[in-house]
Amino acid sequence: MTGTTADPDLTATPPVARRARRHDPNRRDRLIGAALTVIAERGVAGTTHREIAKVADVPLGSMTYHFASLDEILAEAFTRHADSIARVFDERLTAARNRDEAVEAVIALVTDDLLAPGHDLVLTVELYVAAARNPRLRTVTQAWMQRSRDALEIHFDPTTAREVDALIEGLTLHSALSTDPMTPAQIRHAIERYLR
Amino acid sequence: MTGTTADPDLTATPPVARRARRHDPNRRDRLIGAALTVIAERGVAGTTHREIAKVADVPLGSMTYHFASLDEILAEAFTRHADSIARVFDERLTAARNRDEAVEAVIALVTDDLLAPGHDLVLTVELYVAAARNPRLRTVTQAWMQRSRDALEIHFDPTTAREVDALIEGLTLHSALSTDPMTPAQIRHAIERYLR
DNA sequence: TTTGCATGTGTACGAGCGTACACATGATGT
DNA sequence: ACATCATGTGTACGCTCGTACACATGCAAA
């Protein structure tokens, strides 16, 4: 009736409400998780402060408060990714009590973990590409590779460990890229052929 | 002495000389090559019209004339890359006349071609990442994989061909990522262990 | 209770980007 | 010879980006 410009009450709620402040401990952790989601969906190239903030439902300014730069977010996100895979790797191989069980552990690792439906294999390839030009990320990949090899060397000699590590890499990558991914039986066949 | 603003001669050479027009057939091809150079140096994420133009020593406007979009340049560049590797693959395996020679061909392929000093392995990983989100590039990788497998099937059964293809992928990728790349002897050992 | 500071929020700025487009030029077919 | 048009060149526009920064708020120490 009076029109929006006629109201003289300057204490009224401003037209654009300020977002309520939230108590949000471990927002930093949530942001790292959101970063991994964005990387998986849009790739490192499509990962921006604004996109991560949107996924985490957080204002843009929060990004620069918690992280000095985009590089820092990427480094922390990929570190978490590599650690989570390396931990599974460790657990499977530590649990194996002899060589035969170790072979089964490797097979299970590939078929049940690395090629599991929910597992974002593209995240690993994104890491490799990013690491090619980011020394900090190269440290992450190298530590991860070392850890994998160490776990394998619990049961296999160093030469075999290195070769199997490469084979695992190739099998997962190939399955991920193919329209016609390898079946668990084919994975088993390839690994057993190599290790038995 | 009279100062630069005192000259009334409007027919004089303008302060910024227009670049001389050049007769440049197959500039399009040169641009694709320049694109591969840029991708190898800066990654797909750092590949821009302006950067490619600078490497090829060509004005920016030339990019949009020869290619409808950046995607089109990337697709053509990666197609060239994949074809050039697939051709070597074909040649090596076609030349082999029995299984033993085929094994040697695979070893030579990895050690002498894929891991050759001048060969940009990062280009392949860049392709994989780009293909994850670009259907056109996924066609390129799948055609490439099929061609590799076909070449291997000249000498090996389909199951072996697929497994060896994956092994090659893993060996090259692993060598590329490691600070401590595998030696030719180690490559030979891994492949012979699998194929003999 | 008061106060300091870690944390949360909104916005502005300059840079680089893809792309569009107007204009220039010379090779080529007639 | 000359007209045409494929090719070559320069520049402007609108957009998104990373980052900086001023201001708000409430927990915790004193």
Per the structure, the residue whose CA is closest to nucleotide C21 at C1' is B61
pLDDT(B11) > 50: no
Measured in degrees and rounded to the nearest 5, phi and psi for residue A14 equal -65, 155
Cβ <8 Å between A133 and B179: no
* Distance of C1' in C7 from CA in A49, Å: 18
CATH of domain A23-67: 1.10.10.60
Please report the pLDDT score of residue A163 as a whole number.
Answer: 97
The answer to whether the CB of A53 falls within 8 A of the CB of A59 is: yes
pLDDT in tens, B49-91: 999 999 999 999 999 999 999 999 999 999 999 999 999 999 9
pLDDT of A20 reads 80
Cβ–Cβ contacts within 10 Å for residue A77, how many? 25
CA distance A72 to A43: 16
Q: Phi/psi of residue B15, each to 5°?
A: -55, -35
CB atoms within 10 A of CB A110: 22
Q: Provide the percentage of residues in chain B whose pLDDT is more than 70.
A: 91
Checking if the pLDDT of A57 tops 90, the result is yes
Give the integer Cα–Cα distance in Å for B158 and B103: 15
What is the per-residue pLDDT for B19?
A: 82
CA of A17 to C1' of C6 (A): 24
**CA-closest candidate to residue B128, choices B146, B149, B142:** B142
Q: Find all residues with CB under 8 Å of A93, minimum gap 6, and list them.
A: A102, A105, A106, A151, A152, A154, A155
* CB proximity A63–strand C (7 Å threshold): no
Q: What is the 3-state secondary structure (H, E, C) of chain B?
A: CCCHHHCCCCCCCCCCCCCCCCCCCCHHHHHHHHHHHHHHHHCHHHCCHHHHHHHHCCCHHHHHHHCCCHHHHHHHHHHHHHHHHHHHHHHHHHHCCCHHHHHHHHHHHHHHHHCCCCCCHHHHHHHHHHHHHCHHHHHHHHHHHHHHHHHHCCCCCHHHHHHHHHHHHHHHHHHHHCCCCCCHHHHHHHHHHHHC
pLDDT at site B16: 53
- CB B86 within 8 Å of CB B141: no
Q: How many CB atoms lie within 10 A of CB B91?
A: 13
The pair of three-digit structure tokens given for residue B21, joined into one six-digit string: 């027009």
Q: Per CATH, is B75-196 categorized as 3.60.15.10?
A: no
Query: Scanning every residue of chain A, which has its alpha carbon at the shortest distance from the alpha carbon of B127?
Result: A129
Footprint of strand D on the protein (CB under 7 A): A 18, 20-21, 23, 47-51, 60-61, 63-65, 68-71; B 16, 18-25, 27, 58-62, 64-66
Q: Is the backbone of residue B133 left (phi > 0), alpha (psi -120 to 50) or beta?
A: alpha
Report the pLDDT value the prediction gives residue A19, as an integer from 0 to 100: 81
Instruction: Give the CATH number of domain A76-196.
Output: 1.10.357.10
Q: How many CB atoms lie within 10 A of CB B109?
A: 23
- Looking at every residue in chain B, the average pLDDT score rounds to 91
Spans of all domains in chain A = 23-67, 76-196
Top CATH class of B24-67 equals: mainly alpha
Q: Which of A129, A133, A173 to mutate: most B Cβ within 10 Å?
A: A129
pLDDT at residue A51, rounded to an integer: 98
Residue B6, pLDDT score: 36
Q: Are residues A122 and B142, on separate chains, in Cβ contact within 8 Å? A: no
Q: CB distance B174–A193 less than 8 Å?
A: no
pLDDT at A61: 97
Q: By CA distance, what is A158's nearest residue in B?
A: B186
**Residues B109 and B92 sit within 8 Å (Cβ to Cβ):** yes
Digit-coded pLDDT (tens) for A65-108: 999 999 999 999 999 999 999 999 999 999 999 999 999 999 99
Instruction: Find the Å distance, CA of residue B8 to C1' of nucleotide D14.
Output: 37
Tokens 């994975």 found at: A187
Contact between the CB of B59 and strand C at under 7 Å = no
Q: What angle do CA B132, B138, B144 make, to 5 degrees?
A: 125
Question: Which nt has its C1' nearest the CA of B67?
Answer: C19
Residue A193 identity (one-letter amino acid)? R
Tens digits of residue pLDDT in A100-139: 999 999 999 999 999 999 999 999 999 999 999 999 999 9
Residue B2: exposure state from Cβ atoms within 10 A (0-12, 13-18, ≥19): exposed
